[in-house]
Structure 1
């Protein structure tokens, strides 16, 4: 009997580096894999990610995209992301202390403990248009939740109010950017607009900071980081999507290389 290989195979342990340069690293891998996590430099500057929400979303119509890997509700994403910031008890692993996280789709109550957050803020991405959503209810989605938090390594510092600091650029909590649609939405079912990611990255990092996205999707976080003179470290579990992220990152690097020095 002939065995047919899956169209999207699982990444091997440790993942596969699809691209590496002074500006960016893209890995096809499982972000829950300790060997993948170990490849991110400790003391990095920002965690910015959109993990699957565990809702197995289905609009009730045929769709261009298959279900997002990890969106079946079996993954405890706050706990998985804790390994990326450095779990309780670690002081040098992962994200640098007093630096920021942005996580789409989860509220602060779910994230504060696992990600060791001090101050938090509830942000809203206003997509400026109504999506399809569930067609059997009268309201269509036009926004997404984003939790911003300050990662504080020491529990005592969190209890004392450590991390209750403002972002580098203080802005309103509603960010209005049209979601990709039509032809632009063919890259990924939940693609984020690059200008939205630029807003988040510019508010919480400085030039040459390393921005990490362990659930990178089509790579919008990496593109935004590179276009604003930051560095990017991306991990994506779906091979075709990881290859797409690689191509977008390489295109952004080519654009950044043409920009005049400031």
Structure 2
């Protein structure tokens, strides 16, 4: 159910539950999303937390970490497949432990696997079994596979992030822009069912793509509206120049 809706430029932003909203949307040409998934906490608790997207239930543990509910991957990936047009790409972000279940769910939903892309976020997260400085993007296709717009693009993208918002898993705009630019054309419709602080929408505003973003958590929805409105008012004239070379950082500014 749609609780609220904002239209900013070519971006349609929806406050609501993605799993119920997606079925009534026009078919998208591309999905780019940092989907919600469970993470083990860094404190003494053995329970898990989810750091983006769905916030259907939340509370604070004694270690101060926010605990949030998530969507089962089989239902999520089936809904993603249904939300796309007949020949379309889909980028789904994941950590290492969720790669296999997401890929299994994607295959069951009818997606093909193009590649697993890697983001070196430079600043590592503390861990007892090697510090974690990498996140992953599962690059999928539906229908007929299409060549990306820049076949010289590398599998590894490197660059830190100066956070522009208080969202716990904000992603850099140049990272999402790389996926949007490579798998869509100007005027195409890009969908992010779990838009969080609206990074994918900012990338679409900068690149001349239409965008639909869904977020269930109202403070983050408001945050996304503010960022996308600012992207239209103060366009990033340099985002198209982002390099894909592994040897140098792809980006380093705020997202």
Identify the TM-score tier after normalising by the shorter chain.
0.7 to 0.9
Equivalent residue for 2:78?
Answer: 82
1:168 equivalent among 133, 137, 149: 149
CA-based RMSD = 2.6
* Paired residues for 1:166-205 under 5 Å: 166-170=147-151, 171-180=153-162, 184=163, 186-205=165-184
Structure 2 residue matching 1:201: 3-state secondary structure? helix
Where does the alignment leave 5 or more consecutive residues of structure 1 unmatched? 1-12, 87-93, 153-161
Change (3 A) 1:238 1:143: same
Structure 1 residue matching 2:190: 3-state secondary structure? strand
Equivalent residue for 1:52?
Answer: 36
1:16-35 deviations in whole A, cap 9, x for unaligned? 11x114410111111112xx
Shift of 1:258: 9.5
Distance in 1, matches of 2:147 and 2:50, equals: 39
Change (3 A) 1:78 1:145: farther
* Paired residues for 1:232-247 under 5 Å: 232-247=211-226
Question: Which aligned segments of 4 or more residues in structure 1 are displaced greater than 3 angstroms?
Answer: 65-68, 70-74, 256-259
1:121-165 deviations in whole A, cap 9, x for unaligned? 111111122124x4xx1422101111001112xxxxxxxxx42x4
Judge conservation of contact 2:31–2:191 (CA < 8 Å) in 1.
yes
Structure 1 residue matching 2:195: 3-state secondary structure? coil
Structure 2 residue matching 1:130: 3-state secondary structure? strand
1:27 partnered with 2:18? no
Corresponding pairs, count: 215
Q: TM-score, normalised by structure 2?
A: 0.75
Shift of 1:257: 11
Structure 2 residue matching 1:195: 3-state secondary structure? helix
Q: TM-score, normalised by structure 1?
A: 0.73
Distance in 2, matches of 1:220 and 1:193, equals: 7
Shift of 1:39: 4.2
Structure 1 residue matching 2:18: 3-state secondary structure? coil
Distance in 2, matches of 1:167 and 1:139, equals: 33
Equivalent residue for 2:2?
Answer: 14
Shift of 1:117: 1.5
Larger radius of gyration: 1
2:87 equivalent among 88, 93, 98: 98
Judge conservation of contact 2:37–2:70 (CA < 8 Å) in 1.
no
Equivalent residue for 2:246?
Answer: none
Judge conservation of contact 1:45–1:211 (CA < 8 Å) in 2.
yes
1:170-212 deviations in whole A, cap 9, x for unaligned? 21111112134xxx26421100000111111111011011110
Judge conservation of contact 2:2–2:15 (CA < 8 Å) in 1.
no
Change (3 A) 1:110 1:38: closer
Higher strand share: 2
Change (3 A) 1:39 1:248: farther
